[in-house]
Structure 1
């Protein structure tokens, strides 16, 4: 099952995207709809609201008078917290029920307006943000919803900013233009990313790629922060470090984000394997778990587990190591050593570019990795690191 968080500001056209994904077969869970359902007449939610705010929040038919409730709640922070404490847990429980009822091969799209504000992005395999220029959003709100321009702009200003949304967005859909443009983008997203991503998670597989080296991408740190948050959540809050070439500013690299997850023991790593797989990071075995190490080092101290990202559009390598062990320390020291030594970065980049060209036909990049080992061994000596040696 693939869990997709869908969000966007008021007037961005999020419902257009949600509707198209549902047409493709996604299981759509609409948080706004659920928030209305849990306070319908006869529900526990409505009874608790009446108890908290009084009978005058009901209309003549015994249903919730949203205007009357808003007048009491949205000018008072304490009242708003009480309301949220009633509604949000019930929406969360109903959401969990709907997700549990979905088929194992479902693509579940959770339409959640406050995804950014509530800090829940790491709970999803992928976050899709629908965006539209502010003036276009104001136009839509004034023409289709009858808002005044002042009200529309105030509503927009009260929500998360574009910068905050970009920080959590794996996919940014610009819906400033005509509907056909964003619908075409949704069709492509469904076919090229969501469907294969779901299959990769379910089948515990990934999409390998060759050793293509690209110029440093200034968005790698932001992308890495998103992925690291997902890994941390899946692991129960263990330490996650962004390592490897994409963690070194200015260094050309394969477009693969490398991380290491610190565990107290490899037994714990094995216990986490299924949780990481469910979160979109299936485990690999065999030669992928071999680790370059200094000559004479105790191989047992350098053992690790390797997981990879199942997202076909965002390659990830996840090295699960004993935190504080020699492999863990080496990865951190190598990263920080490169960050502090620009001449070494230039030398390493030249090596990587040359080896990538030499092994361009290698679809797994394993031969490329093996060819780097002599340079890495020499780099360890220059770093002065020989942890875990037996003599």
Structure 2
């Protein structure tokens, strides 16, 4: 199922977005509610807290006196660590139970205020951040929640910064506008991205590719690549030895198609095959019809005809809002080394970069009017011959 992480600073209106998503059919899992549930009267969580922190953390009715507990852990790292060691596993267990109980076709939205602080973003297929400037949030907390201004500022300062939240955001939802604006944006997001993403994920289908368009370089490409790489590391674990941003979007200043290329390096093809399900669940279904790169002459194969040397496994993103290709290649194979070499050569050589851009423009023209596989094929027929001639030049650059 599709797992969405939802977060935002205090006063940003995260609950408004969660309600809009629930109205559209999302399964909402509220981490704050779970955190209260696992320490309710009669639970093992509350018993464990009393055992560690004492009975004076209980209110007269036997429930948890949260201010009393907060006073015991405030400023005490060891006490806070002990508190987290009790509550976090219980929250995680209950969260897993709720996710498992959701129907397979669900879009599960995990409402997590401390998603950034707890490093949970890479566990999600997509992260939504409700974004509002600090002063507006403080005004809302004071005006509508009755929070003292100094307290509001202190609470916000204790959370992740706006910059830290934006760094993990696949989608920024601006909630600083008029009433109803963010709900309309959520509806568009649901229809155009979340529903197709869930369908693709469930059926193991790559997001649909349209016409090939070369666009100006986007300064956000490196950060977007790193967000995907963080998810890939979670999926791969120790099976991958490295994961790199490759291809045209990894070359600074180079216009390119708005598709990220990433490379996972593994020990052998058996390891590549073992990642198929995990990568699919992370949002990158396998393309079993693509199993190799086009061979090029190498010292191992001067004629450039040994296709086995260029074997790989290929996955593509299921997210229609962020197209990406994931190449899984064997460490030390020609394809694995060549991809990194071409990226670094183009980044360093202005003339080569300009030459390659001309080839890309010619490929774009050749693919005009086509979409999907037909467009890619037409484009590659122009591009691949240039790569064959570029390989020895890149090697010469590398050796100096």
TM range (shorter): over 0.9
Partner of 2:381: 370
1:310 paired with 2:318, answer yes
Q: Distance in 2 between matches of 1:34 and 1:104?
A: 22
Q: Distance in 2 between matches of 1:49 and 1:146?
A: 30
Could you list the runs of 5+ residues in structure 2 that have no partner in the other structure? 298-302
Length-normalised TM-score, structure 2: 0.94
Partner of 1:330: 338
Structure 1 residues 137-161: Cα deviation after superposition (integer angstroms, max 9, x where no partner): 1011112222111111111111111
Query: Following superposition of structure 1 onto structure 2, how do residues 182-261 of structure 1 map, counting pairs within 5 Å?
Result: 182-206=182-206, 207-237=208-238, 238=240, 239-261=242-264
Q: Distance in 2 between matches of 1:172 and 1:46?
A: 37
Q: Secondary structure at the match of 2:261?
A: strand
Partner of 2:300: none
Q: Residue 210 of structure 1: CA displacement?
A: 2.2
Q: Distance in 2 between matches of 1:236 and 1:78?
A: 29
1:347 paired with 2:355, answer yes
Structure 1 residues 212-237: Cα deviation after superposition (integer angstroms, max 9, x where no partner): 11010000000000001111111114
Count the aligned residue pairs: 384
1:13 paired with 2:13, answer yes
Q: Distance in 2 between matches of 1:151 and 1:69?
A: 18
Q: Distance in 2 between matches of 1:210 and 1:22?
A: 34
Q: Secondary structure at the match of 2:386?
A: helix
After the TM superposition, which segments of 4 or more aligned residues of structure 1 sit over 4 Å from their partners? none
Once the two structures are overlaid, the 10-residue window that deviates more, 105-114 or 345-354, is 345-354
Structure 1 residues 79-102: Cα deviation after superposition (integer angstroms, max 9, x where no partner): 111111111110001001111111
Q: Secondary structure at the match of 2:275?
A: helix
Contact 2:107/2:198, CA 8 A, preserved across alignment: yes
1:279 paired with 2:287, answer no
Q: Secondary structure at the match of 2:198?
A: helix
Partner of 2:112: 112
1:26 paired with 2:34, answer no
Q: Distance in 2 between matches of 1:276 and 1:195?
A: 20
Once the two structures are overlaid, the 10-residue window that deviates more, 31-40 or 158-167, is 158-167
Q: Secondary structure at the match of 1:306?
A: strand
Contact 2:363/2:382, CA 8 A, preserved across alignment: yes
Could you list the runs of 5+ residues in structure 1 that have no partner in the other structure? 386-391
Q: Residue 136 of structure 1: CA displacement?
A: 1.1
Q: Secondary structure at the match of 2:340?
A: helix
Length-normalised TM-score, structure 1: 0.96
Once the two structures are overlaid, the 10-residue window that deviates more, 360-369 or 87-96, is 360-369
Q: Distance in 1 between matches of 2:319 and 2:10?
A: 28
Q: Secondary structure at the match of 2:393?
A: helix
Q: Secondary structure at the match of 1:179?
A: coil
Q: Distance in 2 between matches of 1:366 and 1:301?
A: 22
Q: Residue 293 of structure 1: CA displacement?
A: 2.4
Partner of 1:389: none
Partner of 2:308: 300
Q: Residue 271 of structure 1: CA displacement?
A: 1.7
Once the two structures are overlaid, the 10-residue window that deviates more, 310-319 or 171-180, is 171-180
Q: Residue 319 of structure 1: CA displacement?
A: 0.7
Q: Distance in 2 between matches of 1:290 and 1:40?
A: 56
